[in-house]
Structure 1
Amino acid sequence: MPDGPVHVQGEVVATKRVGGYRHLTLTAPGVPERFRAGNFVALTADGHVARRAFWVHRVRASSAFGPTLDVVMETRGSGTAWLAAQPVGAKVAITGPLGRPFALPKDAVSCLLVGEGYAAAPLFPLAERLRERGCSVSLAVSAPDEAHLLSALEARRSARAVTVLTADGSVGVRGTVADHVGDLVGRSDADVVYAAGPHHVLHAVAAAAESAGAWSQVAVESPTPCGTGLCHGCPLPVVGEDGVDRVVRACTEGPVVRGDRVRWASL
């Protein structure tokens, strides 16, 4: 199958509310087959020019509807509210898969995955790929409270060791990623650390990985008006391989980048 994104008419085949999020299962002909962990999709909301980008949480190669993909959304404005309200059978324009995915290690190494809130979504298909390669996978999922944890039960099927963190202590260990990430990196003996979440979470994880001598990759979430790189509306400040500061497009050169290459203070 050729690489590159496709623009297709998808259909909502399942919708459910789980805690503070809405989970949509969509058909999107050609997208699941091209998907790699860390890719995202852009959905068109009726009456909105800018499309809404969502991490892909799960891909099913076969179902009663054919290949499907799942996205997780938190209602934050009129666009996400419209998409979250779409019933089963609704048609939705979908472009994807988009963006640069996670790079997988060539050898079976120890990996730590750290995610917060709905943005932890891309770590679940990543955990599956890593396990297929024989990697030892530890997973930490974090949120302000229980309602905003993503798939904490599913995490236990995806990883050898799972840590659940909530800032209010409502479930799991009390505290934030910044409070515990140094210990998480040490206990997992990680060679590679992956992270997905708000910028402050990614920064904390990248710093802890660097201190431990581990390699890190972070999925940087940015508003992506077009999702294809044409509008240059998602600037991501990085340090290039040549040591020169530059700004790249999060939707094409990212969203996954090396944690030690992001100019965090400029985000």
Structure 2
Amino acid sequence: MSDTPVQTSATVLTVRQVQDYHAMTLVAPAIAERFRPGQFVALAVGGEHTGRLVRRCFGVYEVKSDYGGTVEVVFADTEPGTAWLAGLRSRDKVDVIGPLGRPFRLPRDPVTCLLVGGGPGGAALFALADTLHRRGCQVHFLLGGRTGKQVFGSRMAHRIGDSAAVTTEDGSMGERGTVGAAMPRVIADTGAEVVYGCGPTDLLRSITRVAGEFGLPSQVCLEEFLQRTGACGIGVCMTCVLPLHGEDGVTRMVRACADGPVLRGDRVRWGDLGTIPFDALGAPRVLGVPEGGRAR
């Protein structure tokens, strides 16, 4: 099996509404056989003659052997590109590139894992959960959203997880509050040894902070950051760069799509997203800006 991504014309099997989101299953055997949890796919939108040139990047919810190999993605209908995808029907064709990016790093020995997700991005945690279980790990879920309809996969999490907790800001599902506020209790209750996260950038920042307070390693998938920056998915457009603190103490600007989307949470300079810190390797120097400032 090659790790090289492929470009293929995938056939739509189904598009279904799941709470506030859409789940699309694509027949794409070459992508399914290469996929590892944490990687993503980039879908062309608008059809053959569209002016929408930028692909839409989504984490993979599930791969199956059905029809030679299927790939399922989950997304919110938030703009014209995703609206076009939501309007597709069975047997339509979509140009897809994948699997792309670096996957989650897996533990060598069985450990207790906490998987934290929010919104449609949390869908990418379920393929990871399956792999962790096959390695003998315990898998605990913590999922959140503003409302119950914005929490993806709560039933699945209760079914396959060793435990599952849900938070909503309006209290319509699970306990009222945020994922970040619930994390300390869930870590203590489960005895988690490693934390994996996927969802909105603010959530990933909270996951990293709380995991650090408990001395736990964290890996986070920046799929939402890719979508928000309008990334091409293949490392060419350079719109998804972010500052990453290396083991050698040097900050470098990396591409979330090519160097991620999975990164060590404690290495990301969350407060400097959207900027080029002046202490980053190769950062421009601007007269009148003090050392340690930021270029925007």
Structure 2: how far apart are the matches of 1:141 and 1:177? 7
Structure 1: how far apart are the matches of 2:33 and 2:125? 18
**Quick check: 1:75 aligned with 2:77?**
yes
Shift of 1:29: 3.0
Match of residue 169 from structure 1: 171
Shift of 1:113: 0.5
Match of residue 290 from structure 2: none
Shift of 1:237: 1.4
Shift of 1:157: 2.3
Matches of residues 232-247 of structure 1 in structure 2 within 5 Å?
Answer: 232-247=238-253
Shift of 1:224: 4.7
Matches of residues 192-231 of structure 1 in structure 2 within 5 Å?
Answer: 192-220=194-222, 221-222=224-225, 223-231=229-237
What SS class does the counterpart of residue 180 from structure 1 fall into? helix
Residue pair 1:185, 1:208 contacting (<8 A) in 2 also: no
**Quick check: 1:49 aligned with 2:75?**
no
2:142 maps to which of 136, 140, 143:
140
Residue pair 2:241, 2:254 contacting (<8 A) in 1 also: yes
What is the aligned-residue RMSD (CA, Å)?
1.0
The percentage of aligned residue pairs carrying the same residue is 45
Structure 2: how far apart are the matches of 1:59 and 1:216? 24
Residue pair 1:32, 1:59 contacting (<8 A) in 2 also: yes
Which sections of structure 2, spanning at least 5 residues, go unmatched?
Answer: 274-296
Query: Which moves more between the two structures, 253-262 or 155-164?
Result: 155-164
Residue pair 1:224, 1:251 contacting (<8 A) in 2 also: no
Shift of 1:182: 1.6
Q: How many residues align?
A: 265
Residue pair 2:41, 2:97 contacting (<8 A) in 1 also: yes
Shift of 1:11: 0.8
Letter in 1 for 2:115: L
Residue pair 1:138, 1:160 contacting (<8 A) in 2 also: yes
Structure 1: how far apart are the matches of 2:209 and 2:103? 21
Residue pair 1:193, 1:209 contacting (<8 A) in 2 also: yes
Shift of 1:126: 0.5
Letter in 1 for 2:208: A
Match of residue 38 from structure 2: 38
Structure 2: how far apart are the matches of 1:262 and 1:186? 25
Match of residue 117 from structure 1: 119
TM-score by length of 2: 0.87
Letter in 2 for 1:89: R
Query: Which moves more between the two structures, 44-53 or 175-184?
Result: 175-184
Residue pair 2:231, 2:257 contacting (<8 A) in 1 also: no
Match of residue 281 from structure 2: none
Shift of 1:225: 2.7
Letter in 2 for 1:11: T
What SS class does the counterpart of residue 257 from structure 1 fall into? strand
Structure 1: how far apart are the matches of 2:159 and 2:259? 31
Letter in 1 for 2:4: G
Residue pair 2:5, 2:97 contacting (<8 A) in 1 also: yes
**Quick check: 1:263 aligned with 2:265?**
no
Deviations 1:24-53 (A, max 9, x none): 000113000000000000000022100000
Deviations 1:194-253 (A, max 9, x none): 011111111111111111111110111323532111221211211011111111000011
Match of residue 288 from structure 2: none
Structure 1: how far apart are the matches of 2:30 and 2:68? 11
Which sections of structure 1, spanning at least 5 residues, go unmatched?
Answer: none
Residue pair 1:181, 1:204 contacting (<8 A) in 2 also: no
What SS class does the counterpart of residue 59 from structure 1 fall into? strand
What SS class does the counterpart of residue 30 from structure 1 fall into? helix
**Quick check: 1:87 aligned with 2:84?**
no
Deviations 1:124-172 (A, max 9, x none): 0001111101111110111111111101111122210000111111011
Structure 1: how far apart are the matches of 2:44 and 2:219? 28
